[in-house]
Amino acid sequence: MAVVSTPATLERAVPVMDNAEVLRIRNDFPVLNQLVNGQPLVYLDSGATSQNPVSVIEAEQEFYEQRNAAVHRGAHHLAVEATEVFEDARQTIADFIGADYAETIWTSNATEGLNLLSYSLSNAGLWAAQGRGDQRLKDLALNPGDEIVVTEMEHHANLIPWQELAFRTGATLRYIPIDDEGSLRMDQAAAVIGPRTKVLAFTHASNVLGVINPVKDLTALGRAAGALVVLDACQSAPHLPLDVKDLGVDFAVFSGHKMLAPTGIGVLYGRQELLDILPPFLTGGSMITTVTMDRAEYLPAPQRFEAGTQRISQAVAMAAAANYLTETGLDRIHRWEAELGQRMVAGLESIPGIRVLGPAAGKERIGLAAFDVEGVHAHDVGQFLDSRGIAVRVGHHCAQPLHRRLGLTATTRASAYLYNTTDDVDRFLEAVAGVRAYFRA
């Protein structure tokens, strides 16, 4: 999914991408060079899952052909090489987000990373009550009367784990509301985030509204309250330069499959001083120092949170994806997707009977557009577009409370990435313009 800049941002001296370059980029993605229902594929569902360039596919294949072995467990040649490329991949991802090596934890996806964190915080209370681990765990433990704060626009992955954490600990879950345009009510955020707030978790960019949240402003409120700040970067890390240290967050998560990498791989970033004292989520081999029949002692991060055989080939491929994005230039990608996103929203707003969620054209938003077609169900819209070779997402996009707040049950969403052209957007808009007539709405 793409990110749209403000006009001031667009004036930066960033080398401009154009359709000719994007068409060359597109040739790196084999899946895009096909016909769907007899027409060239227009893939506008990267907000759900992006496609993979040849370099990423080859990186994973090369691992299996040349280096396949268990990491951290053998002294033979293949095991050593596998461990080296696995840990090199970790360093690549750490550099990609401005983190340190030991602060980068491999997960299956962002959802696992958020569950890992919520369960570790649950266990912090158990360990503290038993006098186990670092004394600082008492400060991380949640108890009745404590509060967890999210926003009304969260993806279920950044909502349900916190609901369950509140249930397990007796804490209270609160949320920052949105206005009718989909922006956070920052005037109410300061009232919601207060001295009882122990965790503040929010998305960097909404996968439905397209709004980009003021991370530093929210982080400052969390810091003032003494809360842990958790960032869902799934819709930002793939599309614009991300520096977790500069943003000042304590934790962040993102998924590989949204940034040109395979499925089954994701990342949890956490400040090392926190990761090293938090109780582990999964336990078993590879994350221990000493084991007796009565108890175990655990390694520091990152191994502390990586029990069992890891996602080795996927990690190597995710590093290749990060390199592809870095070499292309995330600033350049950001600017190109800004153009596509504005073109998409402005075009939709010009079509009668279309309601676009989130900021209007000309206002900052990420390069996606979720919309409602008057009189036509989102699933029918999606099938109509698919019949014309255009792939979009339909449904509630794992954000039911947000849709309910806006009076909807489902929407259609188009999301662009670095391999989309202006022609892709125009084909999409032309097709959407014919939806209501086709269904006689």
> Of the candidates 28, 31, 48, 9, which has an alpha carbon nearest to the alpha carbon of residue 368?
48
- Would you place residue 1 in the very low, low, confident or very high pLDDT band (cuts 50, 70, 90)? very low
Question: Rounded CA gap, 320 and 314, in Å?
Answer: 10
DSSP state of 70: -
> Of the candidates 113, 162, 213, 218, which has an alpha carbon nearest to the alpha carbon of residue 401?
162
- Check if the beta carbon of residue 281 is closer than 8 Å to that of residue 289: no
The pLDDT of residue 73 is: 82
Q: Is 383 exposed, middle or buried (0-12, 13-18, 19+ CB in 10 A)?
A: exposed
Question: Rounded CA gap, 259 and 374, in Å?
Answer: 33
User: What residues have CB less than 8 Å from 77, skipping those under 6 apart?
Assistant: none
Annotated catalytic residue 398? yes
Would you tell me which CATH number, out of the four given (2.30.40.10, 3.40.50.720, 3.40.640.10, 3.30.1490.20), belongs to the domain 58-326?
Answer: 3.40.640.10
Sort strands 288-291 and 42-43 into parallel, antiparallel or unpaired. unpaired
- Would you place residue 359 in the very low, low, confident or very high pLDDT band (cuts 50, 70, 90)? very high
* Structural tokens at position 44: 């506008």
- Check if the beta carbon of residue 153 is closer than 8 Å to that of residue 184: yes
The pLDDT of residue 6 is: 42
User: Of how many residues is the chain composed?
Assistant: 441
Report the run of H or E that residue 338 belongs to, with start and end. helix 330-349
Sort strands 288-291 and 354-356 into parallel, antiparallel or unpaired. unpaired
Predicted structure pTM score: 0.95
- Find where tokens 């052909």 sit: 65
Query: DSSP letters of 266-301?
Result: EEEEE-HHHHTTSPPSS-STTSEEEE-SS-EEEPPT
DSSP state of 257: G
Q: Is 355 exposed, middle or buried (0-12, 13-18, 19+ CB in 10 A)?
A: middle
- Check if the beta carbon of residue 95 is closer than 8 Å to that of residue 141: no
- At residue 219, the 3 state secondary structure works out as helix
The pLDDT of residue 11 is: 45
- Would you place residue 14 in the very low, low, confident or very high pLDDT band (cuts 50, 70, 90)? low
Give tens-digit pLDDT for 228-243. Answer: 999 999 999 999 999 9
CA atoms within 13 A on the CB side of 73: 14
> Of the candidates 226, 219, 218, 222, which has an alpha carbon nearest to the alpha carbon of residue 140?
226
Give tens-digit pLDDT for 225-283. Answer: 999 999 999 999 999 999 999 999 999 999 999 999 999 999 999 999 999 999 999 99
Q: Is the pLDDT of residue 10 over 50?
A: no
Rounded alpha-carbon distances, angstroms, from residue 151 to 101, 121, 258: 30, 20, 22
Please state the domain extents for the chain.
Answer: 2-53+329-438, 58-326
Set 57, 126, 398, 433: catalytic member: 398
- Check if the beta carbon of residue 53 is closer than 8 Å to that of residue 31: no
DSSP state of 213: P
> Of the candidates 265, 230, 206, which has an alpha carbon nearest to the alpha carbon of residue 3?
206
* Structural tokens at position 52: 């993979």
Give tens-digit pLDDT for 58-69. Answer: 999 999 999 999
Domain 2-53+329-438: assigned CATH number: 3.90.1150.10
- Would you place residue 116 in the very low, low, confident or very high pLDDT band (cuts 50, 70, 90)? very high
Share of the chain above pLDDT 90, in %: 93
Rounded alpha-carbon distances, angstroms, from residue 432 to 35, 242, 348, 385, 426: 19, 33, 8, 7, 10
